[in-house]
């Protein structure tokens, strides 16, 4: 039987393309989501710092 190396290369090449493409999709999406999470955490820290603490609000007393 002939060796049919072309078919072997086609099968392995196709598998390599599919698996690398899926890995790249996972990698990029993970980076996007990690970046978005970092921004969210940064924003929540900033907004948390600008708001007065509950103890400070209580010490101020009633508004005039």
Partner 1 sequence: MRRLLGGATLLGLAAGLVMGFVVAPRESTQGNVQRIMYLHVPSVWVAYLAFGVVLVASIVYLVRRAEAADQLAHASAEVGVLFTGLTIATGSIWGKPTWGTWWTWDARLTSVSILFVMYLGYLLLRGMIDDRERGARFAAVLGIVAAFNIPLVHFSVYWWRTLHQPPSLMKPGPGTMPGVIVAALLVNFAAFTLLYVYFVAKRARLLRLEAEAEA
Binding site for partner 1 (CB under 8 A): 1-5, 7-8, 10-12, 14-15, 18-19, 22-23, 26-27, 29-30, 33-34, 36-37, 40
Instruction: For the CB of residue 21, give the shortest distance to partner 1 in the complex, in Å.
Output: 10
SS3 sequence of the chain: CCCCHHHHHHHHHHHHHHHHHHHHHHHHHHHHHHHHHHHHHHHHHHHHHHCCCHHHHHHHCCCC
For partner 1, the closer of residues 17 and 57 by Cβ is 17
For partner 1, the closer of residues 3 and 51 by Cβ is 3
């Amino acid at each position: 039987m002939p060796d049919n190396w072309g078919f072997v290369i086609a099968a392995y090449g196709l598998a390599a393309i599919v698996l690398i493409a899926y890995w790249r999709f996972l990698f990029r999406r993970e980076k996007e989501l990690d970046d978005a999470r970092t921004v969210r955490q940064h924003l929540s820290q900033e907004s948390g710092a600008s708001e007065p603490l509950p103890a400070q609000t209580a010490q101020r007393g009633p508004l005039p």
